[in-house]
């Protein structure tokens, strides 16, 4: 296996509050290979955005990385100073956020914002930077880029703004892009355009992407591998087709069944009763155990001991059903939803 571009080892993000320490991301480990698209899905509060923010060094205080390591190309980046991190952000890791209106500065023309990024990180003249900005805007499909470069963000529509944000993320040719809900604020037809664009550009530039979203459909279209997060932990990680067609973790099984699917007629959707625990009340053992329909099958372990990721089918799931002691259960694969 090639060396990963990004490696996250046992990352833990905590928030000290008056009522005690809240662990929002708990012991998350993942890798992203060069050119790979890793999807991170989960419901709100699962810790997916915070994982992305920790990697790019944008955790807002009082949130902080309590333990764990983040390595970019084998070099630790989680302990860099703010000044040192600024050189990496944009240059080596680009970012795309959900709301294109708030991630662009309304007071500067988009051209100025893109050339600023290029001039900060690359050794080029202002004229070259401007030319590169126009090329980038052309590449992301903005018509009449040489004129539009002097326009302000409010003069663009939502989809066009998100295209500008993508060109901004690509401006300094980073090797990794963290895309946090890049299409959530957009209508379906525009969403399809943006996903297609993002996929095409990353393939052409060989950029790796960590795609954070709550939309399984977007992941299915885009990602190579997917990590499913629940209550700050990774519940299941594996190749996207496997996770979607043969989910192993009971949470993923429930989640896939809960998504209404076109062309499939079901009278009732699979329902996961209850809701995700609050951060100050995460149950002991497996965080999913109060909602899990299969927790009786492997004894009391689920409520006492926290499972780590175990091989389950072709994916890895953090579930005691797949521990070696419970080997008989692995043959009893949970019913696949998208058969």
Question: Among residues 66, 124, 190, 282, which is the contact residue for another protein, using CB under 8 A?
Answer: 190
DSSP bridge pairs for 209: 37, 177
Q: Are strands 310-312 and 315-317 parallel, antiparallel or unpaired?
A: antiparallel
Q: Are strands 75-76 and 64-72 parallel, antiparallel or unpaired?
A: antiparallel
Span near another protein by CB under 8 A; candidates 51-59, 84-92, 98-106, 186-194? 186-194
| Smallest separation, CB 157 to another protein (Å) | 5
Residue 240 within binding range of another protein, rule CB under 8 A: yes
Span near another protein by CB under 8 A; candidates 17-25, 168-176, 267-275, 328-336? 267-275
Binding-site string for another protein from residue 72 to residue 111, where x marks contact by CB under 8 A and - marks none:
----------------------------------------
Binding-site string for another protein from residue 16 to residue 55, where x marks contact by CB under 8 A and - marks none:
---------------------------xx-----------
> Whole-angstrom Cα distance, residue 14 to residue 144?
46
Residue 267 within binding range of another protein, rule CB under 8 A: yes
> Whole-angstrom Cα distance, residue 36 to residue 164?
23
> Whole-angstrom Cα distance, residue 287 to residue 281?
10
Binding-site string for another protein from residue 151 to residue 180, where x marks contact by CB under 8 A and - marks none:
------x-xx--------------------
Residue 184 within binding range of another protein, rule CB under 8 A: no
| Smallest separation, CB 291 to another protein (Å) | 9
295, 274 Cβ separation under 8 angstroms:
no
> Whole-angstrom Cα distance, residue 240 to residue 224?
6
Size of the site for another protein (CB under 8 A): 45
What's the order of all strands across the beta sheet hosting 225-230?
93-96, 176-180, 208-213, 37-41, 225-230, 233-239, 315-317, 310-312
Span near another protein by CB under 8 A; candidates 23-31, 84-92, 121-129, 271-279? 271-279
149, 130 Cβ separation under 8 angstroms:
yes
Give, as ranges, the residues between 48 and 77 that touch another protein (CB under 8 A).
Answer: none
Span near another protein by CB under 8 A; candidates 64-72, 236-244, 296-304, 315-323? 236-244
Name the strand (E) or helix (H) holding 1.
none
> Whole-angstrom Cα distance, residue 183 to residue 181?
6
Picking from 313, 318, 305, 304, the residue whose alpha carbon sits closest to that of residue 334 is 313
How is residue 77 written in tokens? 């980046």
| Smallest separation, CB 194 to another protein (Å) | 9
DSSP bridge pairs for 67: 12
| Smallest separation, CB 266 to another protein (Å) | 7
Among residues 11 and 272, whose Cβ is nearest to another protein?
Answer: 272
Binding site residues, another protein, CB under 8 A: 43-44, 157, 159-160, 187-193, 195-196, 214-218, 220-221, 240-241, 244-245, 254-255, 257-263, 266-273, 275-276, 338
């Amino acid at each position: 296996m090639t060396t990963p571009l990004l490696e996250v080892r046992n990352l833990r993000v905590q928030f000290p509050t008056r009522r005690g320490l809240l662990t929002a991301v708990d012991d998350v480990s993942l890798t992203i290979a060069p050119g790979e698209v890793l999807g991170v899905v989960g419901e709100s509060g699962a810790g997916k955005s915070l994982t992305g923010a920790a990697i790019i060094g944008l955790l807002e205080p009082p949130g902080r990385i309590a333990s764990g390591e983040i390595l970019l190309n084998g070099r630790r980046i989680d302990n860099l100073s703010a000044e040192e991190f600024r050189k990496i952000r944009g240059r080596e890791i680009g970012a795309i956020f959900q709301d294109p209106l708030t991630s662009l500065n309304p007071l500067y023309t988009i051209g100025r914002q893109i050339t600023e990024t290029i001039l900060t990180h690359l050794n080029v003249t202002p004229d070259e930077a401007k030319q590169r900005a126009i090329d980038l805007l052309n590449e992301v499909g903005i018509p009449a880029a040489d004129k539009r470069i002097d326009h302000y963000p409010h003069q663009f529509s939502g989809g066009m703004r998100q295209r500008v944000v993508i060109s901004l993320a690509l401006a300094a040719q980073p090797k990794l892009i963290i895309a946090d809900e890049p299409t959530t604020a957009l209508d379906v037809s525009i969403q399809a355009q943006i996903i297609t664009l993002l996929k095409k550009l990353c393939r052409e530039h060989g950029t790796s992407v960590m795609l954070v979203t709550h939309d399984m459909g977007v992941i299915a279209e885009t990602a190579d591998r997917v990590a499913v997060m629940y209550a700050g932990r990774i519940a299941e990680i594996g190749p996207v087709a496997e996770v979607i067609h043969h989910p192993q973790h009971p949470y993923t099984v429930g989640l896939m069944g809960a998504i209404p699917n076109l062309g499939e007629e079901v009278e009732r959707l699979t329902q996961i009763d209850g809701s995700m625990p609050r951060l100050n009340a995460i149950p002991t053992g497996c965080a999913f155990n109060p909602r899990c329909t299969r927790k009786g099958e492997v004894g009391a372990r689920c409520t006492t001991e926290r499972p780590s990721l175990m091989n389950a089918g072709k994916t890895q799931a953090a579930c005691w059903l797949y521990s070696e002691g419970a080997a008989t259960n692995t043959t009893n694969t949970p019913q696949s939803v998208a058969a």
